[in-house]
Amino acid sequence: MDSMQNMTVLVTGGAGFIGSHICDAIIYQGGNVICLDNFLTGFRKNIEHLLGNKNFKLIEGDIRDIDTCRKAMKNCTHVCHQAALGSVPRSVADPLTSNDINISGTLNIYFSAYEAGVKRIVFASSSSCYGDEPILPKVENKIGKPLSPYAITKVCDELYASVFQELYQMEMIGLRYFNVFGPRQDPDGMYAAVIPRFVKSLIKQESPQIFGDGEQSRDFTYIENVVQMNLKALTTKSKEATGLNYNVACGKRITVNQLFQTLRSNLTNMDSNIAKIEPEYVDPRPGDIPHSLANIELAKNNLGYNPEIMPAKGISKAINWYWENLQ
């Protein structure tokens, strides 16, 4: 991977789960980071260790404010746009805020980058873009009808990126994340992702809720693989690699039932009482897709992506972190 020593990267959502790990990696590679976060879903504790670093600057602000975006963009060479209001169920409950942050906020970032002369934006998209497209594994050039407001926002971000590449000669790279998990992922709140939610319930000796029959499957992707992909997208010299959207995943899937059994088995090694906990099955959630599995050949071929941590190892690493931090 190319050195980042001459790069100053604006990381939006830099105090979030994914964004904070990207900030760490850029600093480690010798780059400079401007972190923009409104702390709506991010946490100061995720970036506390960076606050004294001369290569790190925090701007507390909201991407929905264009002046804040313009201020954050000063002296930046690249943008790594992670800020978003995640969660399909949250977008179903409140489509207006998802639209404001994920579409209007993203457009603010794109346009302020253009105004500032920033050439490359790497941005977080989502596997939810595939919608009702039935074919597995998911291939980047075949997407279906979006099934949730959240999915619509991410499809819209990709469309705007394509227009900015064509009209403004910018280099736009979209990353379609598949069920990212790992340390720092928030286990609290009604919209918590499935792995931290399950782990927290099991540690507390409670039955986790499984929506539907649990036979829905996902391509769970450990955070280190996602960081690797962002760095490769930020540093690639290949112009042909830009203007495209890439799957970021492992190319393997497990069902939610299998996930529960794996988590319970791992945690039983730490507390034998967890072995007897069973899940509670509740109604399926509207907007959820039944199956998710990525083809990652395009990312491998164009960007040299190589997911180094498969789900089983990633789950073990994540559980160790949660065990230490949720007691």
Rounded Cα gap, residues 310 and 315, in angstroms? 9
| Spatial distance between the Cα atoms of 87 and 148, rounded to a whole number of angstroms | 10
What's the DSSP call for residue 136? Answer: S
CB 56 within 8 A of CB 33: yes
In this structure, the strands spanning 120-126 and 244-248 are unpaired
H-helix or E-strand spanning residue 181: strand 180-181
For residue 325, give the H/E element and its range.
helix 311-325
CB-side neighbour CA atoms (13 Å) of 2: 14
CA distances for 230 relative to 13, 173, 234, angstroms: 14, 9, 6
Query: Could you tell me if 100 and 29 are in contact, meaning their C-beta atoms sit under 8 angstroms apart?
Result: no
Q: How far apart are CA 85 and CA 189, in angstroms?
A: 13
Q: Where are the alpha helices (DSSP H) in 84-130?
A: 88-93, 95-99, 106-116
Q: Which residues are catalytic?
A: 150
Contact 260, 210 (CB under 8 A): yes
Q: What is the Cα–Cα distance from 312 to 217, expressed in whole angstroms?
A: 15
Element (H, E) at 119: none
Beta bridge partners of 231: none
